[in-house]
Structure 1
Amino acid sequence: MTKLSVNINKIATLRNARGGNVPDLLKVAVDIQRFGGQGITIHPRPDERHIRYQDARDLKAIVTTEYNIEGNPQHNFIDLVLECKPDQVTLVPDAIGAITSSAGWDTIKNQEYLTEVIHEFQKNGIRTSIFVDPILEMIEGAKKTGTDRIELYTESFAHQYSLGNERGIDPYVEAAKLANELGLGINAGHDLSLDNIKFFKDNIPGLLEVSIGHALISEALYLGLDNTVNMYLNKLK
């Protein structure tokens, strides 16, 4: 079964919009795991507009499943990850002012930098994953960095699927096949939803984990958080 890691950035966004501690981010993380979620993902950004660095520290004691911290490996982020020692760190090349992630790494151009950062995390017992587009050369470049896993950036698939174009998954299938041949674990995320997750999962060989936040939290407004988490789990079986 492909594991479901729930990104709780949007819970932090809602909390920060009003101040105070409602909704309680830590309680939501506990509840998601109680409902069956198999991991908690956060993506702190330098301006702390949703997840704060202190949230990352506080969640360390709360997450009993798998703890995944995403972000651009700048100095402050690296220090935070080494302090929290999550189960997994996912490296994402997002710009400081970006609303959300919009592209994977150029693993050829950034190979030396990624290799150095990945080695530091692995030396501290942290599994590494790097965000990549479904481009075969980028998968091959990822392998050369020494990363444990890749996370396929799925925005293009989700967009094409919403237009009725199921062939939009083809580059992802080829990327996954190559990753499997190279011995890279496969994660995926971005714009995956209840509408498209089963089709994606059924067609991607060796898919280990999906990280879903915006769609899941939005769907939970109508369906309830417990129900939504379990709807995803059923589609990922």
Structure 2
Amino acid sequence: MTKLSVNINKIATLRNSRGGNVPDLLQFATDVQGFGAEGVTIHPRPDERHIRYQDARDLVKVVYTEYNIEGNPMDNFMDLVFECKPTQVTLVPDAVNALTSNAGWDTIKHQSYLKEIVAEFQRNGIRTSIFVDPVLEMIEGAKATGTNRIELYTEEFAHQYGLGNEKAIEPYTKAAQLANDLGIGVNAGHDLSLQNIEFFKNNIPDLLEVSIGHALISESLYLGVENVIRMYQQKMK
């Protein structure tokens, strides 16, 4: 079964909006794992507007499933990842002022840079994943970097699927097939939800992991976190 990694950035956003420690980020990470999630994802940004760097350090003590840290591999971020030694680091090319991730890497243009970064993380025993658009050339470029996995950027699929366009899955299926042929693991994330996850999963061969935050937390406001995690897992069986 595809693993569900819960992105807890939104919990940090809610906490930071009021100050103090409500909701308790560490307790939430503990709870989602207890409810059955197979991983916890965070995406700290330089301005620490949601996840703080200290959160990343503190989570090391409570994440007993897979720990995934996403971000642009600038010096401070790399130092943080080396310190925390998560299961996986996902490299995302977001700008400092980006509201949210909005594009994958150009793995051809930045190939030598990514190859160096990937090798450094792997030397420290950290699995690497590169955030990419479903473009075959970008998958081939990712292979040349030596990365363990890619994460397919799924915003366009989610948008088109919401409009009733099921053919929007086709580039993602082809990208995943190529990645499998090249020996690269396939993850996915961004705007996946209870409404589209089953269709996505059923059309992506050997999908290893999905990282879901915004939709899952929003859905949980109505349905409850434990119920929502179980609903995702049922749809991904």
1:82 alignment partner AA: F
Residue 54 of structure 1 deviates from its aligned partner by 0.1
Report the equivalent of 2:128.
128
1:225 and 2:228 aligned: no
Q: In structure 2, what is the Cα distance between the partners aligned to 1:20 and 1:153?
A: 33
3-state SS of 1:122 partner: helix
Report the equivalent of 2:78.
78
Residue 38 of structure 1 deviates from its aligned partner by 0.4
Q: Runs in 1 of length 4+ with deviation above 4 angstroms?
A: none
Residue 13 of structure 1 deviates from its aligned partner by 0.1
1:194 alignment partner AA: L
Residue 50 of structure 1 deviates from its aligned partner by 0.1
Residue 110 of structure 1 deviates from its aligned partner by 0.4
Residue 191 of structure 1 deviates from its aligned partner by 0.2
Q: In structure 2, what is the Cα distance between the partners aligned to 1:48 and 1:229?
A: 27
Q: In structure 2, what is the Cα distance between the partners aligned to 1:169 and 1:64?
A: 33
TM-score by structure 1 length? 1.00
Report the equivalent of 1:55.
55
How many residues are treated as equivalent by the alignment? 237
Q: In structure 2, what is the Cα distance between the partners aligned to 1:95 and 1:236?
A: 32
Residue 154 of structure 1 deviates from its aligned partner by 0.2
Report the equivalent of 1:20.
20
What is the RMSD of the two structures over their aligned residues, measured on CA atoms? 0.3
1:206 alignment partner AA: D
Residue 11 of structure 1 deviates from its aligned partner by 0.1
3-state SS of 1:95 partner: coil
Report the equivalent of 1:202.
202
Q: In structure 2, what is the Cα distance between the partners aligned to 1:79 and 1:117?
A: 12
TM-score by structure 2 length? 1.00
Q: In structure 2, what is the Cα distance between the partners aligned to 1:131 and 1:87?
A: 16
Q: In structure 2, what is the Cα distance between the partners aligned to 1:113 and 1:26?
A: 34
